[in-house]
């Protein structure tokens, strides 16, 4: 089988797709990954072929955009700078592979596994009968009127009727999302011989008519009646090949004292990440807690450094979370789905201060599960972070869900089983 795997965004968006692509290749399938240009080395290191979307400069311009992490305007940045430029390259590549993999019977062995934001794949699906599986890394990728429901950083209060919730989505489409999406879509549809779609672009059209696959389990979010048809998978928990050991300096720091707080502001975090790092370091100093600070933000020379740093905090660009988190007391992060999944897997209390996108929804689910605390933005966020950190580091995390399975399958086994169900349902048509 030939698979074209397409994703856009940060490394956190890439990793779940890369874990799936690697597993497909290991079972003998022919897999090609399309993603942002900076990820070529990471993809090829897993033995996969790679087709870049955009250039290094395009990605850097997006990563440094001042509105990237704005809870409302950030999605517009992703749409304009990542999604729109990728429409035609993704469409053209999917169509070329569809033609190249067609047999004498006219059927193709191609399967496209794509983020809903890769709308070029959705347009190709309208042009040709190539099977398209929409792949969802987080529950908020799928619009719903069920709790928790977020519009940007604002959580719709529980008890608000479904009719009013639908009206809120309609208003967001009418006044924000459709005016943003339609110019690029109209330009794309003007060059191909297919009718323009009707209805909500992000609520309906971007989802494949062939159904989808979630890269999160049903215990994290049960499927809702207002979702398109999806097969429920599990968290991929990506770890790069050969990335299974801690740096000797980090190992020495861990051995030298109590379990530290691990803080990870994200692979691309900007001002929000710097603020999260500074406030976490300030709170940890007040509580006499040791810290491991991860990511490029942690290495910036001006970020919260004091003369006491050598004994108090260890900074490093990267460490495998699967090895580090079992030795942590608390995991502080921005609410990316990969970080949430790692925290749940290793049963470490999580303190989440989200910035944008799916992070608010993820944080609310972690808190609802008793696996950590959600610190919403606002005037009292700094005090809330200090109080929550004191509680979690003191053993007040509540019930950290073990999520034990009654079988011996791995997370990836469950994902491949779900993909197999999608394939069988597709073949039964």
> Could you identify the residue written with the tokens 């608000």?
160
Tens of pLDDT, residue by residue over 258-314, are: 999 999 987 655 677 888 898 899 999 999 999 999 988 887 766 556 666 777 899
pLDDT greater than 90 at residue 243: no
Task: pLDDT band for 404, please (50, 70, 90 cuts).
Answer: very low
Query: Is 243 within a domain?
Result: no
* Sign of the CA dihedral with 46 first, then 47, 51, and 56 last: positive
Query: Is 359 within a domain?
Result: yes
Which of 72-86, 208-222, 236-250 comes out lowest in average pLDDT?
236-250
Mark whether 171 and 304 lie in a shared domain: no
Query: Is 25 within a domain?
Result: yes
DSSP conformation letters of 216-253: S-TTTS---TTSPPEEE--------TT--S--HHHHHH
Mark whether 89 and 232 lie in a shared domain: yes
Average pLDDT over residues 104-132: 93
Tens of pLDDT, residue by residue over 317-347, are: 889 999 999 999 999 999 999 999 999 999 9
Mark whether 195 and 104 lie in a shared domain: yes
Average pLDDT over residues 183-188: 93
Task: pLDDT band for 382, please (50, 70, 90 cuts).
Answer: confident
Q: Looking at residue 305, what is its pLDDT?
A: 61
Residue, of 424 and 105, whose pLDDT is higher: 424
Tens of pLDDT, residue by residue over 355-375, are: 889 999 999 999 998 999 999
Distances from the Cα of 188 to the Cα of 88, 92, 193, 205, 374, angstroms: 7, 12, 10, 14, 40
CA–CA distance, 336 with 86 (Å, rounded to integer): 23
Query: Is 399 within a domain?
Result: no
CA distance from start to end of the chain:
19
103 touches 77 (CB < 8 A): no
Range of the domain at 359: 248-393
Mark whether 327 and 229 lie in a shared domain: no
Mark whether 147 and 186 lie in a shared domain: yes
371 touches 403 (CB < 8 A): no
Mark whether 259 and 135 lie in a shared domain: no
CATH number, position 161: 3.40.50.2000
| Chain centre to alpha carbon of residue 102 | 33
Q: Looking at residue 143, what is its pLDDT?
A: 95
Mean pLDDT of the residues in the chain: 90
Query: Is 178 within a domain?
Result: yes
Task: pLDDT band for 100, please (50, 70, 90 cuts).
Answer: very high
Mark whether 106 and 208 lie in a shared domain: yes
CA–CA distance, 311 with 141 (Å, rounded to integer): 42
Q: Which residues contact 208 (CB under 8 A, 6 or more apart)?
A: 114, 122, 125, 132, 133, 134, 228
Mark whether 81 and 171 lie in a shared domain: yes
Q: Looking at residue 104, what is its pLDDT?
A: 78
The total number of residues shown for the chain amounts to 429
Is pTM beyond 0.85? Reply is yes
In total, how many domains does the chain have? Answer: 2
Query: Is 71 within a domain?
Result: yes
CA–CA distance, 146 with 153 (Å, rounded to integer): 16
Q: Looking at residue 271, what is its pLDDT?
A: 76
Mark whether 84 and 195 lie in a shared domain: yes
Mark whether 215 and 291 lie in a shared domain: no
Mark whether 182 and 277 lie in a shared domain: no
Mark whether 156 and 270 lie in a shared domain: no
Query: Is 366 within a domain?
Result: yes
Task: pLDDT band for 412, please (50, 70, 90 cuts).
Answer: very high
Task: pLDDT band for 410, please (50, 70, 90 cuts).
Answer: confident
Query: Is 403 within a domain?
Result: no
């Amino acid at each position: 089988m030939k698979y074209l795997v397409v994703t856009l965004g940060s490394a956190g968006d890439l990793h779940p797709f890369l874990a799936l692509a690697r597993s497909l290749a290991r079972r003998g399938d022919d897999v090609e990954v399309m993603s942002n240009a900076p990820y070529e080395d990471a993809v090829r290191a897993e033995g996969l072929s790679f087709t870049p979307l955009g250039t290094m400069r395009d990605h850097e311009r997006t990563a440094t955009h001042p509105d990237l992490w704005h809870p409302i305007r950030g999605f517009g940045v992703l749409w304009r700078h990542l999604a729109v430029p990728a429409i035609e390259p993704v469409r053209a590549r999917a169509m070329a592979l569809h033609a190249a993999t067609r047999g004498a019977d006219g059927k193709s062995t191609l399967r496209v596994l794509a983020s809903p934001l890769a709308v070029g794949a959705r347009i190709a699906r309208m042009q040709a009968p190539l099977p398209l599986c929409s792949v969802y890394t987080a529950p908020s990728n799928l619009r719903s009127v069920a709790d928790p429901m977020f519009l940007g950083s604002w959580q719709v209060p529980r008890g608000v009727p479904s009719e009013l919730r639908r009206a809120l989505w309609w208003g967001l489409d009418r006044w924000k999302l459709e005016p943003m999406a339609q110019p690029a879509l109209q330009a794309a549809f003007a060059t191909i011989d297919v009718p323009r779609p009707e209805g909500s672009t992000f609520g309906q059209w971007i989802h494949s008519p062939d159904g989808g696959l979630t890269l999160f389990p049903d215990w994290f979010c049960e499927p809702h009646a207002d979702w398109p048809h999806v097969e429920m998978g599990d968290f991929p928990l990506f770890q790069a090949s050969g990335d299974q050991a801690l740096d000797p300096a980090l190992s020495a720091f861990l051995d030298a004292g109590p379990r530290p707080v691990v803080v990870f502001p994200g692979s691309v975090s900007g001002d929000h990440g710097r603020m999260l790092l500074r406030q976490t370091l300030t709170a940890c100093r007040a509580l006499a807690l040791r810290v491991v600070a991860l990511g490029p933000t942690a290495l910036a020379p001006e970020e919260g450094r004091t003369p006491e740093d050598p004994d108090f905090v260890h900074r490093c660009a990267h460490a495998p979370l699967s090895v580090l988190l079992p030795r942590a007391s608390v995991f502080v992060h921005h609410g990316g789905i990969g970080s949430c999944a790692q925290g749940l897997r290793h049963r470490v209390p999580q303190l989440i201060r989200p910035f944008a996108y799916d992070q608010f929804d993820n944080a609310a689910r972690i808190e609802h599960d008793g696996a950590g605390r959600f610190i919403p933005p606002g005037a009292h966020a700094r005090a809330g972070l200090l109080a929550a950190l004191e509680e979690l580091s003191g053993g007040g995390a509540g019930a950290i869900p073990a999520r034990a399975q009654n079988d011996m399958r791995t997370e990836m086994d469950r994902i491949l089983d779900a993909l197999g169900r999608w394939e069988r349902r597709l073949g039964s048509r």
